[in-house]
Structures are given as C-alpha cells and as structure tokens.
Amino acid sequence: MAAAIAALREGRALPPVLYTVDPASFRQVPGSPFAYWVSERIRRLFVELPPFEGEGRTVKQGLATADDFRFVRAWWEVAPQKILDGAQGPDWREDLATFQAWCRRRTFEGKRWVPFAKGGEYSPYYADLHLVVNWERDGEEMKAWADPLYGNSGWSRIIKSVDFYFRPGLTWPLRGIHLSAQGVPSGSIFSVAGKLATSDRLEELPALLALMNSKVFDFLVGLFAGKVGGVQYEVGLIGRIPLPDGFDKGILSEKSSRICEASVSRATYDERCHVFCLPVLLQVLDNTLTERLTSWQLCVAKAEQQLSEYQKEIDASTFQVYGIDGDDRWTIEESLSELRSERDGEEQDPDSADDEIEAQPAADPRQLVADLLFYAFGCVFGRWDIRFATGERRPPDLPDPFAPLPVCSPGMLTGDDGLPLRDAPPNYPLRLDRDGILVDDPDHPDDLVRRVREALEVIWQDRAEAIEHEACEILGVKELRDYFRKPGNGGFWMDHVRRYSKSRRKAPIYWLLQSSRKNYALWLYYPRLDKDILFKALINYVEPKLRLEESRLEAVRRQLSVVRSSAQRTPDTGPRTADKKPKALEKQLDRQEGLLSELRDFHDKLRRAADLHLDPDLNDGVILNIAPLWELVPWAEARKYWHELSAGQYDWSSIGRQWCGRGGVGR
C-alpha cells in the first residue's frame, strides 16, 4: 500500500491494486455506496439514464400472510374447482383492468385459491407457481386475521399493493448470489418475498425479463447494494436501477421468449407443474429405459447449450444498449464469473429456499424411473390421461408465460369443462379406479401391482414385462411389489412424499396405510377423499380380506388335525425319519395366525379412524386430512399433526372444528 501511494505521489504508473476515485463521484449512485472498483462511466449511468421505476413501470411488494400454514397450499392439494380460473376470463392483453376486476369477482363466486408467487430458488426466466393462497371474497378471511395484528394497525400493514394483484409481471427470489427474474402469469397474487415488477406496456415484459437476467443488470444491482453477490433484492433496489433507452427493441424480447419457451417445455416433464403432460421417459423415444435415459441426457445437454447461446446474445445486446464495452465490460464479466461457482454451492435463504419448483426434473436415472411409476399409478386413479402416452392424443401448444395458469395441467384426464373426470370417457384404453382405493393384495382385483401393470401394458404393450423388469433393476428392487411395499427410503411412498414436498408444504396425494409387518396395505387417492372412504375401505377391502384369511386359517387347522390324527393311528414299527408334514403345517399355521393378528390390528386402527366421523376437506390441505390416520401411515408428520389437533391447534380448519365439536380436544 505504501509503495502504491508513493507511486501516486511521484506520478509513476499505478499498480492494478490501486483505485483513484473522486469521493464526489460516489454520490452519482443512490445511497453513495463505496463502489470504488468500477469506472466513472458506469457510475454515471445512474444519473444519465432513467430508473427502472417510471414511465409506466413499477416495482411492488405484495402480501405477507403472517400464517402460511393456514393460508397457503400447494396447488395440487386443493380442488381444481376452487382455484381461480383466469384462463376463462376476458383477454388480459386487451383490457387488463377488466381482467383484474373479473378475477376479484370470481373470488366471490367460489374461487377461493389464487396462484401465488412467493420468491424461490435461482431460476432465470421461468419457474412454475406451485403455490396458491386463500383469497376468497377478495381476501376476507386473511384481512380479518391481519387486522388486529401488530397493535391493531390494520391489514394493509402486511397485505400490500392489492390494486396490482392479478397483473402479469416479473418476480425474483428475495436473496441470492445472482439475480434471477421469472415471469408472473396474469391472474396471480405476489408476496412480500416474491415481489412484482410490471409495466403498463405489457408488450415490453419479455424484454424487461431479458434485461433483468442480464449480466449488466445483475452487476448494477450489486453496485447499488454496495456489494457484488449475496444481495437482498428489495423493491427500492430494483426500482432505482437505470434502464437504457430502446431496451425493448432488437433481440431482447425475441431471445427472452425463446428461453421461456424452452424452459416451459422442460416443465412439461414434471407432474407437479401446471404444464405437465408426460414424464421424461415417455417424451423420448428408444426401446429400453436405459436407452431413453441416455437420449434424455443428450437432449438436456443440447438444450443447455442452446440456452447458453441465447443468453450470450442477450448479454451482448444488453452491453450494447447500456453503452458498456472495453475494460468496463471485462470488469463486469470477471466479477460475475467469480461468483458463479459460489451460486452453485450457496446456502439457501430459509425464508425463500424451496419456494419454487425447479422446472427441469433431476437427471438421476432412479428418480426418472420413479417418475414413470408415479405416472402409471396416477393413470390408474384417473389423474393422468394415458392417451398422451399412447400417442392417441397430442400435447397442446406451450402457453405464454404471462398467460393465466390452468386449474388442471394438460396431462390430466379432464372433461369438456376442463375439470377432472371421475369416470373413463368412451373407448378409454385403461380401466380406472373409481373409489380412490387400491390395495396391496395379490388376491384382489384392485391390487395395486396388477393395476399398475395394466397401465404399463397399455403404454408399452408386448414390451411391458421387459420394461417392468428393467425398472426394478434401476430402482434396486427384486420386483415391483417390493418398491410399493417399502415404506422408507428407496420405496414408492417416501419417493412420493419427497417429490410432493415443497415450500414447507408436505403434500403427498397417494397415501400409504400399512399394516404393522407390511404384509397388507391400502393406498388412498387424496383428491377422492370423502366422508365414507374409510368405511368403504373397511367394507370392500379389509373385512373381506379378514374373512378370506380366517377361512384359510381354518383350512390349515383342519389339514393339520387330519395329519396328526393319521400319525396317531399309524402303528409304531420302530425307528424312522420324522414326518416333516406336521412341522410344515405347524409353521404355516403360525404364519397364518400372525397374518390374521396383523390384519385384525390394521382393521381396528382403521375402524378407530373411521369412527371419528371426520369429513375430509381439501381446503385444509394434505397434512391435516392425513393426521387422523396416524396409526396406519408410516410418516411421523401424521402423528405430529394429530397430536397438535388433539391439543386444540388449527381451530380455523374444518378438521379442527369438527374434532373440537366432538369433544376430541384434550383426548
């Protein structure tokens, strides 16, 4: 440092570690951050160019529920009929105010749940909104809840910018090493973490999206914040970033739209997303699963390369419209490249991590095979339309990322009204389960393995058996039943729980009810829950199974009695080899008695849950509805929430009110 100062005094060439800046220059950037490492030209952008917020553009903070568990759900855990159907409304492009008014009116007409942008992970350009928020009657319940909070300061303290709800725009994670903006569909609500940037000129949104995901914009955000990387992206920060003239011209809008299209296309593989159509292994063509996995990896690599090229063009164009070149461009690119490796290993923000679903499924072969079985399982319940897998139906065109979200994904089996079907349409190729119950029982026509095989046969035809065998090898199980029966890690149940857990919402839709020794189980389909489903499970599945196994026990007893009587009548003629038949029958008898004891225990636990006479309500979400089944579900969450319900928590929920009304609190 002393040598550098001496060189400065003597007029010699300055070492690269020394920066000379007029302190007054720092004031050109709002807040006067000590941004000594950039040139005067870059600092001057903040006074020469207009800010982001202005000329019809604005940046807003949305709502904080103050109780996400009460007011927020994953979109698949509520009835589609209760979700705002923005796609059925007036054209949002032609008259946005009319569209917003229509959306508000629909919340008074039974549309309780509205798509909810809540920040999330690093995901530039696109991230599916997998959450919905309770905004029934224009947020009546939430406003009433929020009014007395914080010293009776009123709901507007935490529920902000309501006039901007249902508008399309851009959102981004609250924190991150790099800024990453995504499109927000019209007909959505945004949060305090997932803020909204929007414009009166809707046609400039794609270009704004490209601009916000560019290197220049990311760097300027860090410069304004006084550091590069690890920034908290508040509205005041984004709103004051300078915007160049003519940014919405040229290639920015075009390349942004192409990246969005590619990102949306990849989300069609993920069954949790609004654009889902088919799992990965049914969207690539090859003979075996292994070959399809290889093809998928090649497709991913090719797509990533293309996206990288598009982003390079966007960055080059953005440098140009900002008038940044030479050493300034090198400085920006170098500073951001040093952070790229940090982003890959960055610690997630506990308030926003996992708030969005990644658009691209994992490339892990085991996960992709599990996704295939999830799909077949869903086809049996009538969740998915298997005709997309057979080629009988073609996937629809990809949607505009700013268009309202559908209440059902394209891959779902729906009727003319766009809502789920309960019965198969004419000439449908697969037998559907109507009662929402499958059973782990080879003797039963609704045995889950039998029914999944039927789905695989529709898809793969004469190759179904070979595909099943290959799937089992990749999953590391001997046979399909082992995968469905295993309740812990590596089994269908926990794979499904993990897949459907996001943003602190744990919302599996296929429920495993399993006996103590895992020899018998029922699977319930959450969307088909009703007040009678447990009684139907008892009458149609468990009690007939008990009678069957009791008759088998009696048959073994009679057979053993005959063998023993025969042995007693046989004269003893001297030493001989012991007769093994009675011992084999005795072991069989022990096994059968053990199975019956296990089944009776299962029956009694299911009867206890049924006798609670609790009417399921999907508005409560998965976790509170599954809690009464805690004795049978191999999941600690069910027990935890049942104990909390019994302690009087969640009295705002339908389940909580029913249980309290029956005197259950404290029992």
Asked whether residue 6 carries a pLDDT value surpassing 80, the answer given is: no
What pLDDT score was predicted for residue 354?
40
In angstroms, the CA 208 to CA 256 distance is 9
> Residue 23: CB partners within 8 Å, gap ≥ 6?
none
251 vs 259: CA distance, rounded Å: 12
What's the CA gap between 227 and 239, in Å, rounded? 17
Cross-strand partners of 297: none
User: Is 165 part of any domain?
Assistant: yes
Q: Rounded to whole angstroms, how far apart are CA atoms 52 and 664?
A: 56
User: Is 515 inside a domain boundary?
Assistant: no
> What values do phi and psi take at 426, rounded to 5?
-55, 140
In the 3-class helix/strand/coil scheme, how is 454-466 assigned residue by residue? Answer: HHHHHHHHHHHHH
| 133/14: higher pLDDT | 133
User: Does residue 525 sit within a domain?
Assistant: no
Average pLDDT value for residue range 68-84: 97
For residue range 385-440, what is the model confidence (pLDDT) as tens digits? 999 999 999 999 999 999 999 999 999 999 999 999 999 999 999 999 999 999 99
563 domain-assigned: no
Domain with 362 in it:
28-492
- Between CA 224 and CA 210 the distance in angstroms is 20
10 found inside a domain = no
Mean pLDDT to the nearest integer, 91-98: 96
Is 148 among the domain residues? Answer: yes
Express as a percent the part of the chain with pLDDT over 70: 87
Q: How far apart are CA 610 and CA 542, in angstroms?
A: 13
Q: How far is CA 591 from CA 485, 549, 552, 581, 594, in A?
A: 19, 11, 11, 15, 5
**Contact assessment for residue 178 and residue 286, using Cβ atoms and an 8 Å cutoff:** no
Residue 567 has pLDDT above 50, yes or no: yes
pLDDT of 577 reads 46
What is the C-alpha to C-alpha distance for residues 252 and 211, in angstroms, rounded to an integer?
7
Average pLDDT in the chain: 89
Give the pLDDT of residue 20: 59
Distance CA 594, CA 372 (A): 35
The pLDDT of residue 373 is above 90: yes
**pTM for this predicted structure:** 0.90
Burial of 574 (0-12, 13-18, 19+ CB in 10 A): exposed
What span, in angstroms and rounded, lies between the C-alpha atoms of 164 and 58?
A: 10
pLDDT at 564: 78
- The number of folded domains in the chain is 1
149 inside domain: yes
Q: What pLDDT, in 10s, does the model give residues 606-653? A: 999 999 999 999 999 999 999 999 999 999 999 999 999 999 999 999
CB 247 within 8 A of CB 339: no
Mind listing the pLDDT tens digit for each residue in 15-49? 555 555 556 555 566 655 645 556 668 778 878 88
Cα 479 to Cα 481: distance, rounded to the nearest angstrom: 6
Separation CA 585–CA 569 (nearest Å): 19
Asked whether the beta carbons of 142 and 189 are under 8 A apart, the reply is: no
Token digits for 212?
A: 């916000």
pLDDT tens digits, 160-214: 999 999 999 999 998 888 899 999 999 999 999 889 999 999 999 999 999 999 9
Q: Using a CB cutoff of 8 Å and minimum separation of 24, what contacts does 468-473 make?
A: 470/288, 470/289, 470/290, 471/289, 471/369, 471/372, 471/373
pLDDT band at 360 (very low <50, low <70, confident <90, very high): very low
pLDDT band at 355 (very low <50, low <70, confident <90, very high): very low
What is the distance between the alpha carbons of residues 85 and 79, in angstroms, rounded to a whole number? 12
In a domain, 446, yes or no: yes
Q: Are 112 and 619 in contact (CB under 8 A)?
A: yes
Q: What percent of the chain has pLDDT over 90?
A: 71
* 358 vs 213: which has the higher pLDDT: 213
Q: Which of 461, 476, 255, 526 is nearest to 365 (CA)?
A: 476
Q: Name every residue whose Cβ is closer than 8 Å to that of residue 32 and which is 6 or more positions away in sequence.
A: 26
Stronger pLDDT, 378 or 121, i.e. the higher one: 378
Residues 249-280 have pLDDT tens digits of 778 999 999 999 999 999 999 999 999 999 99
Supply 92's token pair.
């949002």
Q: What is the pLDDT of residue 483?
A: 98
